[in-house]
Amino acid sequence: MKFRTRSSAIIGTICLATSLAFATAYADEPAAPSKAAAADVALTEVGKAQNPIAGAAGPDGTVWIAERAGTVRVLTDSGLGEPVLDISDETTTDGERGLLGVAFDNELAHFYISYTDLEGTSTIDEFAVQSGAIQPDSRRTVLTQTQPYENHNGGDIKFGPDGYLYIALGDGGAGGDPHGNGQKLDTLLGKILRIDPGGAEPYAIPADNPFVDDPNAKDEIWSYGLRNPWRFSFDSGTGDLLIGDVGQSDWEEIDWAPADSEGGENYGWASMEGTHPFRGGTEPANHTPPVFEYDRNGLGCSVTGGYVYRGDAIPALQGQYLYSDYCDGTVRGLKIENGQVTGQSDLGVNGGEVISFVEDGDGELYVLGLGGTISRIDPA
C-alpha cells in the first residue's frame, strides 16, 4: 500500500456505466446466465469514518471498523458508534503506519489488533471479549517485529479455518527490498506468519508449520517472498488463501494457495515482481507465481486484496474473488478455478481510495475508502 493524497471527487462518479462482461475465452459467445456472468451491484454508503482502514465481523452479527489513527468502532444502522477501543496515543500515522488490522478468533472470544507502535514496531495485541465487549484489562502483546523503514509494514491479521492466527508482514520497506528480507527465512519480514496465540505465552508454533525443522528458518513462517502483503483473506467457502501483494513499480499481484496447502510457498519477491524477474533477479526454482497480476497501465498502482464473495444477496457474485486498487478504486472480480483465473470482471462501481474490504458474518462485503467511506456491496 502507498498512502497518497488524492482527490475524492471521483468517488461514486466514475465507472457507473456497466462494463461487466467477463473477459474469458468465451467472451464472444452469446450471453447466457451462468455463474460466470458478472453481477449488477451498487455501493451503498453505510457509514462515515476517519480513515477507515480495516474491519472484521464481530459478535452478534456486528461489523467492527478500525480507523487508522487508532480507534475501533462498531457499525450500526446509523453509522459508526462511539469508539470501543482507542489506542491513538500508542500509534502514529506517518508513512504507512497506524492501526492497520483487526481480527476476531473463530470463537469470537478474543479480539486482536495489528498496529505500529510509537517506534514503528509492528505489534499484535490480544483482548478477551465477553458479552460482545472488549475487556481492556485482558490486553496482552502477542508478537512484535521491529521495522527498519516506515513503509511496507503489511499489517493484516486473519484467523484461518484451522483456528491459527495468520499475520502479514511486509519486507521492511525502503524500495527494492535492500536487505533481501523477502527471500530470507531468518526474518519475519516479507512473510505470512502462522501462530497459535492461545497455545502458549505469548504464542505457540503450530507443529505442522513448514519450517519448524529448519534451524535456519523462523518457525512462525507460513509463506515467504512477499513485498507488502497489505490485505489477505481466506475463502470462507473453500479455505483457500488469497493475498494481495503490492508491487514495486510495475506489477501488482494476487497470490493464491489452496486450503490443503502445507505452507512454505515462495511468492518470489524480491527476485521476482509478479511473473517478471525484478532488477535482474533469477526466478527461484520453487517460485509460486501469482494467480493474477496487472501492470500500472490502467488498473491502478497498489493492489487491495479482498474476499471471495460467499454472501446470499448477489447470487451472480458467488465464488468470485473481489479486489480493488488504492489508486484506482474500481471493484473488480476474478473467477478462480483450481488455482487458475478463468474470468475477470469490472463490477462498475468505485469505492474511492479503496484500502480494504470487510466480510461480515453473512458473507456480505464492505469496501473501505481511506478518504472516509464505508460502503456495502449490494445488488443494484
The yes or no reply on residue 256 touching Ca ion (CB under 5 A) is no
- 45 vs 250 by CB, closer to Ca ion: 250
What gap in Å lies between CA 240 and CA 178, rounded to an integer?
Answer: 31
* 164, 204 Cβ separation under 8 angstroms: no
Per-residue interface string for the shown chain with Ca ion, residues 269-298, x marking contact by CB under 5 A = x-----------------------------
- 268 vs 343 by CB, closer to Ca ion: 268
Q: Is cis: bond before 270, omega within 30 of 0?
A: yes
Nearest-approach distance from CB 151 to Ca ion, in angstroms: 17
Nearest-approach distance from CB 276 to Ca ion, in angstroms: 10
Nearest-approach distance from CB 225 to Ca ion, in angstroms: 6
Contacts of 109 by beta carbon, 8 Å cutoff, 6+ apart: 128, 129
The yes or no reply on residue 170 touching Ca ion (CB under 5 A) is no
Contacts of 178 by beta carbon, 8 Å cutoff, 6+ apart: none
- 267 vs 292 by CB, closer to Ca ion: 267
Nearest-approach distance from CB 357 to Ca ion, in angstroms: 21
Nearest-approach distance from CB 166 to Ca ion, in angstroms: 17
The owner of cell 523462523 is 218
Which position among 267, 292, 309, 366 is part of the footprint of Ca ion (CB under 5 A)?
A: 267
- 154 vs 371 by CB, closer to Ca ion: 154
Query: Which residue has the closest beta carbon to Ca ion?
Result: 268
Q: How many residues bind Ca ion (CB under 5 A)?
A: 3
Which position among 268, 311, 352, 371 is part of the footprint of Ca ion (CB under 5 A)?
A: 268
- Closest Cα partner for 97 from 124, 121, 71, 127? 121
Give the C-alpha distances (Å, rounded to integers) separating 136 from 91, 132, 139, 169, 235: 17, 13, 6, 26, 31
The yes or no reply on residue 224 touching Ca ion (CB under 5 A) is no
* 40, 366 Cβ separation under 8 angstroms: no
Nearest-approach distance from CB 101 to Ca ion, in angstroms: 21
What gap in Å lies between CA 113 and CA 54, rounded to an integer?
Answer: 10
Give residues in contact with Ca ion (CB under 5 A): 267-269
